[in-house]
């Protein structure tokens, strides 16, 4: 039996234990996966204790940056993200840190037949969620990725850090009003029912695709706005959650699960 879990604080709400249990059932692997509540000032000690027996762990808020520092080896995408959401114990006992969030986003978009290559993509926000997805997103070859943030300097800093991977620009919300192909909401505004101050003209009716990294039982405020402006499609972040978990499961086990039935089951339970 291999032991896995997810570190966070709070953690009781996490859907990861259910997702990985369903992956294990689907693939026939015998694993244990538990929610792991780490003290806010005791993450390092909690990780050390877990990995005396554990094989791998996911990491969620607020520990992703601490996990980045703790990991003794880093994947390229984790180095770029400067955050780790997946830890794996290597054969020599060292901890590998990876970040599967961006792969989760890209895979979900591609699963939904959203074309990324050659497209103009607007990303709202310049925090950790956005940083974590930029490397895999740019690897798809979009024509441009524009980071939009209330504090323009943060957007500009992020754009400059990733400029070697593709055409990156930065803007404030009041700078942009011409239509784009894809808008990705990487802010947490939807959690509080708020909408970033977006120009309605950003959406080309029947053409623009909008994606909210947040999700809920009901359509998020951002996606409601997008639908009102005639967006071709709106998607939420539940698929990203399942896809990033599938990427972690594959990293740990070498077996790639099928996320589709798991996503359908989670959607039905919302």
pLDDT at 3 over 90: yes
Summarize pLDDT for 83-122 with one digit per residue, the tens.
999 999 999 999 999 999 999 999 999 999 999 999 999 9
Residues 155, 252 within the same domain: no
pLDDT at 200 over 90: yes
**Average pLDDT in the 65-69 region?**
97
pTM here is: 0.96
Looking up residue 116, the CATH number of its domain turns out to be: 3.40.50.720
**Average pLDDT in the 123-143 region?**
96
What is the phi/psi pair of residue 257, to 5°? -80, 165
* 204 in catalytic set: no
Residues 32, 13 within the same domain: yes
**Average pLDDT in the 52-67 region?**
96
Looking up residue 62, the CATH number of its domain turns out to be: 3.40.50.10860
Measure the CA angle with vertex 59, ends 22 and 104; round to 5°.
60
pLDDT at 181 over 90: yes
Residues 106, 223 within the same domain: yes
Residues 93, 106 within the same domain: no
Residues 217, 262 within the same domain: no
Active-site position among 15, 64, 120, 217: 64
Structural domain boundaries, residue 225: 102-236
Strand order through the sheet with 31-37: 31-37, 2-8, 56-59, 86-89, 95-98, 73-74
Residues 45, 137 within the same domain: no
Residues 121, 232 within the same domain: yes
How many domains does the structure of the chain reveal? 2
Residue 129: which pLDDT band, with cuts at 50, 70 and 90? very high
Mean of all residue pLDDT scores within the chain: 97
Residues 119, 173 within the same domain: yes
Residues 147, 64 within the same domain: no
Residues 152, 91 within the same domain: no
Q: What is the DSSP pairing of strand 95-98 with strand 233-236?
A: unpaired
User: How high is the pLDDT of residue 190?
Assistant: 85
Residues 106, 228 within the same domain: yes
What is the phi/psi pair of residue 41, to 5°? -105, 20
User: How high is the pLDDT of residue 191?
Assistant: 83
Residues 232, 108 within the same domain: yes
User: How high is the pLDDT of residue 165?
Assistant: 97
**Average pLDDT in the 220-225 region?**
97
């Amino acid at each position: 039996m291999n032991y896995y879990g997810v570190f966070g604080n709070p953690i009781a709400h996490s859907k990861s234990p259910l997702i990985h249990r369903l992956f294990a059932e689907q693939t026939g692997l015998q694993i244990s996966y538990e929610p792991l509540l780490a003290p806010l000032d005791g993450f390092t000690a909690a990780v050390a204790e877990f990995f005396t027996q554990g094989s791998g762990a996911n990491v969620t808020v607020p520990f992703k940056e601490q996990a980045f520092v703790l990991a003794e080896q880093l994947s390229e995408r984790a180095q770029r993200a400067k955050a780790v959401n997946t830890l794996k114990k290597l054969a020599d006992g060292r901890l590998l840190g990876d970040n599967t969030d961006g792969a989760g986003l890209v895979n979900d978009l591609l699963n939904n037949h959203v074309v990324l290559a050659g497209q103009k993509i607007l990303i709202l926000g310049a925090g950790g969620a956005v940083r974590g997805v930029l490397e895999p997103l740019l690897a798809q070859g979009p024509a441009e990725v524009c980071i939009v943030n209330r504090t323009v300097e943060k957007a500009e800093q992020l754009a400059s850090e990733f400029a070697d991977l593709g055409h990156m620009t930065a803007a404030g919300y009041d700078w942009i009003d011409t239509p784009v192909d894809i808008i990705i909401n990487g802010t947490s505004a939807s959690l509080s029912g708020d909408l970033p101050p977006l120009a309605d003209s950003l959406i080309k009716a029947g053409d623009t695709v909008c994606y909210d990294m947040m999700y809920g039982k009901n359509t998020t405020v951002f996606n409601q706005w997008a639908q009102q402006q005639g967006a071709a499609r709106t998607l939420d972040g539940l698929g990203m959650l399942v896809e990033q978990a599938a990427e972690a499961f594959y990293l740990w086990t070498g077996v790639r699960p099928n996320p589709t039935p798991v996503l359908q089951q989670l959607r039905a339970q919302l």
